[in-house]
Amino acid sequence: MTHSSRSRLTRRSVLKGGIGLALATTALTAIGLPVPARAAGKKVIIGAFADGGLTPFKQKIIPLAKDAGFDIEFLEDEYGVTLEKWFADAKNSAGQYDLYLLDDPWVPQFGAANVLEDLGAAGVDGGDKDWIGSMIDMGYWPPQKGPRVKGFETTTPTLICVPFVGDLQTLTYRNDVYTSGAPKTWDEVIAKGKEGVAAGKIKYPVVFRGVSGNPIVTSWYPVFLSFGGSFFDDKWNPVFNSAQGKASAEFFVGTMKQNAPSGVVEFDSDQEGAAILGGEAGAIIQYSGNALKADDPTQTKVAGKLDFGVVPKQTSAIAQMGIFIAGIPKSAPNKANSVEFLKWYVSADIQAKLSEAGSIPVKRSAFGIAKPGNRLIPVALQQLDAGALPRPRTPDWAKVEELLGIELNKALQAGSGGGAALDNAAKQVKDYLTTVGYY
Amino acid sequence: MAKGGTQIRKYRLQGAGLDLALPYLMLAPGLLIVLGVLVYPLWDGLRASTKVYRYGSVVADAGMQNYIKLWSDPQFLNSLWVTVKFVALSVTFETILGFALALFCLREFRGIRLLRTILIIPMVITPVVVAIVFRLIYASDAGMLTAISVWMGGGQVQILGSPVKAFIGLVILDVWEWTPLMFLILLAGLQSLPHEPFEAARVDGAGSWRVFADLTFPMMRPVLAIAIVLRTIDAFGTFDQVFVLTRGGPGEATRLVSIYGYDTAFKFQQTGYAAALFVTIGLVVLALAFSAVRLLRRVDAS
């Protein structure tokens, strides 16, 4: 009896304590008392996917932000899971993040779902002439230029994201193989690369990503653009299987594969990075995250032998842009801090610091500083001026890319049939977009 | 006894409604948890499968349209076919190997306990880790198979870039990881068989094959059926290993329904369609399990 009473009393007291604590917490939150953990500074919880392109930001800019009074919490995830995690966070108003560092093709998905704050209304100046125009354009939903998806034809474009780190594809090449500077054309890449192979300097003229889906499409895209291809017409009809598109695909799965490592069909960024940094390949088109490793002797066996250039051309030298772009979820717990942080971060001064730290800035003035922290930065500006295009601004890009990537990968396995692969993919894309109401 | 019964009745009458309700009240928290954790997600999934989602929100009722659409979706049909092949091959090999190992380990000899322990190690390793290990074996540029091949004077070994080899590679991974589960279940089954029929057969001079065919196998049939059903259900849900190793490629060669469903739900944001896909797969697996159990009963009855 005594034991039983004591036991009941203990449970009751635990319950009482728990309920009391819950009520107290709720009451404190309701009346808006500051939570001690957030009192140290202007708290900003930044979500990012793991990528080498953010290393200078993490190492150099976050400490500056702390000096400026921001209490930055930087949460990283693997690329593949970030989209689903953040989208769920935003849709369910979970409020786990103040700022998402999105990959720019995700902007239409978040924009269409209407889960991000209007940054223009919050005071971020989208009209500042110092922005790299093609970068700030990516922050608007619906897009200011180009075709719009159904349901958003008459909607006023809103600035829901601001460019955060300017990332785009450039060429990395071996200066002991391409001795007269960056190869200007794809033919030169292959011809001089073969000479390098014959001279025993490299094993393969090129290397790229061949894995189905996003990786292979990302590698093929600059080839496609340089051959003069375009993806959709202004009514969202796929036109990537034009003569130019097919020529680029045939070149990609044929000539490029023949001059790449035999396992290129299964290569993702790790393997292509290993091939160029390990001294096996002569040239590669890649984003800055991997390109930045070219001068790091702890990462490469051929430090000093790797230089950067504009992507090769067939008819033009156009790269794919894939910038890090920041959006504030409507459910952000520290919204005002996030806006203040973004304004601070995109100021000319801090962008100059970012450039000094070795990262590609998003403001033009920061490209012109006396000592950019990386040789890639001036090349990136050359590439921007030569031509760099974002992926089509549709919330359905992931599916489109998947359908195309599977067909391209099958053709790459076969080593031929790139044109037919584009025809198949175009049909599938058209069917898919029809089912989701594009036409 | 009668006096006790009267006392209970009296007690119940005295306690009136509260006493009658007490057992239910005590069960209520558990029931709520079961409803919340098990039933609600299932119900929500079913509900979602009848909706059309666009940009993360419900935009229309679909009725059975998502279910109907599945059967004209070449990507779904391909992933279903890949899954069926994967499950059939994996479970077959796992059953044969697991049974053979269980028969071998039934015998008592020096070191048998250590051997039994070693045999179940693959099963206890996290699937993601297993996939990473196999990636380090299969990768054409820096994989172990290529290293061995080059050391022996050969060239690069291409596994993950070839549809057939990548598929077989995935089956090998699954067999390596899950044969121990079959081994464990079947060994337990073998150890629980009665000794008498075997001793009688031995006295009658029956050979090993005859003992296996006439005694061991028939007596093990229920355990085998349970093991196969359990493993089949589990294999239909294989995800982690493929996600890490191939992401469904090359092409669509290893794209199991789980991967296609994941992409559909999270990458393509087609929540309703993905829900219909998973409900369909759930029903297929349920039908398979029921069929297996019915078949087993019929075989036993005959």
Of the candidates B140, B249, B269, the beta carbon closest to that of A212 is on B249
Given a cut of 50, whether residue A56 has pLDDT beyond it is yes
Q: What whole-number distance in Å separates Cα of residue A314 and Cα of residue A353?
A: 36
Of the candidates A109, A212, A435, the beta carbon closest to that of B250 is on A212
pLDDT tens by residue, A140-186: 999 999 999 999 999 999 999 999 999 999 999 999 999 999 999 99
Is A399 in Cβ contact with B268 (below 8 Å)? yes
Q: At what angle do helices B217-236 and B271-301 cross, to 10 degrees?
A: 180
> pLDDT value at position B8?
57
Give A424's pLDDT tier (boundaries 50, 70, 90): very high
> pLDDT value at position B16?
66
Mean pLDDT of A401-418: 96
Is A396 in Cβ contact with B267 (below 8 Å)? no
Mean pLDDT of B79-84: 96
Closest residue in chain A to residue B55, using alpha carbons only: A113
Given a cut of 70, whether residue A107 has pLDDT beyond it is yes
Which residues of B are less than 8 Å from A260 in CB distance?
none
Spatial CB neighbours of A66, under 8 Å, sequence gap ≥ 6: A41, A72
Of the listed ranges A352-366, A413-427, B91-105, B142-156, the one predicted with least confidence: B142-156
Is A91 in Cβ contact with B56 (below 8 Å)? yes
Within an 8 Å CB–CB cutoff, is residue B240 touching chain A?
A: no
Predicted-complex ipTM score: 0.83
> pLDDT value at position A32?
44
Is B56 in Cβ contact with A115 (below 8 Å)? yes
DSSP string, B34-77: HIIIIIHHHHHHHHHTTEEEETTEEEEE-TTHHHHHHTT-HHHH
Partner A, chain B 173-212, Cβ-Cβ below 8 Å: none
Greater confidence (A78 vs A118) lies with A118
Mean pLDDT of A45-70: 94
Give A6's pLDDT tier (boundaries 50, 70, 90): very low
Give A36's pLDDT tier (boundaries 50, 70, 90): very low
What global pTM score does this model have? Answer: 0.86
Is A112 in Cβ contact with B268 (below 8 Å)? no
User: Given the DSSP bridges, would you call strands A42-49 and A99-103 parallel, antiparallel or unpaired?
Assistant: parallel
Greater confidence (B10 vs B212) lies with B212
pLDDT tens by residue, B72-81: 999 999 999 9
Given a cut of 80, whether residue B236 has pLDDT beyond it is yes
Give A26's pLDDT tier (boundaries 50, 70, 90): very low
> pLDDT value at position A182?
96
Given a cut of 50, whether residue A115 has pLDDT beyond it is yes
Mean pLDDT of A61-76: 96
Q: What burial class does residue B108 get, using C-beta atoms within 10 Å of its C-beta: 0-12 exposed, 13-18 middle, 19+ buried?
A: exposed
Of the listed ranges A249-258, A339-348, B145-154, the one predicted with least confidence: B145-154
Mean pLDDT of A24-47: 60
* Shortest Cα distance, chain A CAs vs residue B76, angstroms: 13
Given a cut of 90, whether residue B50 has pLDDT beyond it is yes
Give A7's pLDDT tier (boundaries 50, 70, 90): very low
Rg (CA), chain B: 26
Which residues of A are less than 8 Å from B55 in CB distance?
109, 112-114, 395
Given a cut of 60, whether residue B85 has pLDDT beyond it is yes
Give A12's pLDDT tier (boundaries 50, 70, 90): low
> pLDDT value at position B9?
58
* Shortest Cα distance, chain B CAs vs residue A330, angstroms: 15
Mean pLDDT of A30-56: 73
Is A413 in Cβ contact with B250 (below 8 Å)? yes
The shares of helix, strand and coil residues in chain B, as percent rounded to the nearest 5, are: 75, 5, 20
User: Which range has the top average pLDDT, A80-89, A409-418, B50-59?
Assistant: A409-418
> pLDDT value at position B13?
52
User: Given the DSSP bridges, would you call strands A99-103 and A324-327 parallel, antiparallel or unpaired?
Assistant: antiparallel
Q: What whole-number distance in Å separates Cα of residue B61 and Cα of residue B64?
A: 9
Mean pLDDT of A391-411: 96
Within an 8 Å CB–CB cutoff, is residue B62 touching chain A?
A: no
Mean pLDDT of B257-274: 93
Q: How many CB atoms lie within 10 A of CB B257?
A: 26
Mean pLDDT of A197-219: 96
Mean pLDDT of A261-286: 94
A238, β-bridge pairs: A232
User: How far is residue B185 CA from its own chain's centroid?
Assistant: 13
Q: What whole-number distance in Å separates Cα of residue A265 and Cα of residue A412?
A: 6
Is A410 in Cβ contact with B251 (below 8 Å)? yes
Given a cut of 90, whether residue B274 has pLDDT beyond it is yes
> pLDDT value at position B6?
58
> pLDDT value at position A16?
53
Spatial CB neighbours of A387, under 8 Å, sequence gap ≥ 6: A225, A316, A317, A318, A319
Of the listed ranges A75-79, A198-202, B58-62, B288-292, the one predicted with least confidence: B288-292
Question: Across chain B, what does the average pLDDT equal?
Answer: 90
